[in-house]
Amino acid sequence: MLESSYHDLSLDTQKDVIELLKKDCKYILYFYKKHKKVFYRGMKNNEAFVVKKYRKERFFKNMNKDLSDLIDEALNELGKKAKRINSIFVTTKYLQAKQYGNVFIIFPKDGFHFTFSKSVYDLFLDINPLLKRALKNRNDILFYKYKPYVFKDEKYLEIFKSYLISLIKKSTGVSPIKKDAFIKELNDDIHSFSDLSAYLKKTFYFFDDLKNQVLDFLNKNAKSYLEVQEIKELIKNEIKKAYDENDLNEAFGNFNGEVMISNSLYYGVNFEKLKKYHILNNWIEENFFL
């Protein structure tokens, strides 16, 4: 079947849609009936009913492509066929889907693949805590604005501290007394990149005028964490631990996060317009909500 959409649904078309879903989506209908929950997806489309193909290669505007590729590499090693590059994202939470557009109930065609993690609500939002867990025992990494920076030599700790002191002295947004306190803490209490990560998170709230200069220093003197194979392996291992879930029932329990699904086709019923279509609405309510 080709991609298609229906702006309106006649009585006969509603019946045809129900029969199509019953024929092509037996697997997901079993879970929807069992748990009285459905998968939602926010979409820009505002048709009443759509037939869509999964993208073969998704474009990510919110995540670094190299990081997204690394996540998919880990999922592939886990044997997961639904990955970020070839999946759509769905959720059992209506309000979560609503953030992304008009809400559709999604009916994946039989034979679909799925991937999800009970510890990840939204990977775009949760990637930074995941990175911190993966790299918590590394003493050569500085986290700034949640991004890890890797230093090849410990001498850069003192170089960076000296640079920060010079920036603080030049700052115009903080009183001299507060500057002295920040400099004293930097000299007396900061002995590792981990200490410095916590210091920057706390202190540079006050030095908004210096943030770009700090980023310039890091970009010139530190490696990207994605350039270090050993670090990439640590991240992949953390992803594998997070996504080692194979029971789709768990996606309908207390789990509140995103689910990746992929295959050939999926069907979408516009939840916002459903009340208009009494036959289709009654079938969905009676089977999946009541």
218-242 pLDDT, tens digit per residue, is: 999 998 888 899 999 999 999 999 9
- Residues facing 104 on adjacent strands: 41, 270
Q: What integer is the mean pLDDT of 101-122?
A: 95
Residue of 175, 216, 214, 180 whose CA lies nearest to 197: 214
Q: What is the pLDDT of residue 88?
A: 94
Predicted confidence (pLDDT) at residue 60 exceeds the cutoff of 70: no
CA gap 212, 187 in Å, rounded: 22
Predicted confidence (pLDDT) at residue 59 exceeds the cutoff of 60: no
Which range has the worst mean pLDDT, 16-25, 39-48, 136-145?
Answer: 136-145
Strands 113-116 and 259-262 come out as antiparallel
Report domain extents, the chain.
4-120+246-288, 127-234
Predicted confidence (pLDDT) at residue 258 exceeds the cutoff of 60: yes
- Residue 268 contacts residue 25 (beta carbons within 8 Å): no
Q: What is the pLDDT of residue 12?
A: 96
Predicted confidence (pLDDT) at residue 209 exceeds the cutoff of 90: no
Predicted confidence (pLDDT) at residue 63 exceeds the cutoff of 90: no
- Residue 256 contacts residue 121 (beta carbons within 8 Å): yes
Q: What is the pLDDT of residue 212?
A: 86
- Residues facing 52 on adjacent strands: 266
Q: What is the pLDDT of residue 1?
A: 62
Whole-number average pLDDT of the chain = 91
Residue of 215, 207, 284 whose CA lies nearest to 39: 284
Please give the radius of gyration of the chain, using alpha carbons only, rounded to the nearest integer: 25
Predicted confidence (pLDDT) at residue 61 exceeds the cutoff of 90: no
For the segment 156-186, what is each residue's pLDDT rounded down to a tens digit? 999 999 999 999 998 887 889 999 999 999 9
CA gap 89, 83 in Å, rounded: 10
Distance from chain centroid for Cα 54: 18
Q: DSSP character for 69?
A: H
Q: What integer is the mean pLDDT of 85-93?
A: 94
For the segment 117-154, what is each residue's pLDDT rounded down to a tens digit? 998 888 888 888 899 899 988 888 998 877 899 998 88
Q: What is the pLDDT of residue 224?
A: 87
- Kindly provide the b/e burial profile for residues 121-155, where b requires at least 16 CB atoms within 10 angstroms of the residue's own CB: bebeebbeebbeebbeebebbbbbeeebbbbeeee
Q: Which residues contact 225 (CB under 8 A, 6 or more apart)?
A: 131, 135, 141, 148, 149, 150, 231, 232, 235
CA distances from 187 to 159, 163, 184, 191 (A): 12, 12, 5, 9
Q: What is the pLDDT of residue 128?
A: 86
Q: Looking up tokens 């009916």, which residue turns up? A: 107
Residue of 144, 137, 141, 148 whose CA lies nearest to 67: 148
Predicted confidence (pLDDT) at residue 62 exceeds the cutoff of 70: no
Q: What integer is the mean pLDDT of 177-197?
A: 92
**Tokens encoding 257:** 């996060």
Q: What is the pLDDT of residue 76?
A: 96
Q: What is the pLDDT of residue 179?
A: 92
- Residue 11 contacts residue 57 (beta carbons within 8 Å): no
CA gap 230, 217 in Å, rounded: 24
Confidence grade of residue 58 (pLDDT, cut at 50, 70, 90): low
Q: What is the pLDDT of residue 290?
A: 72
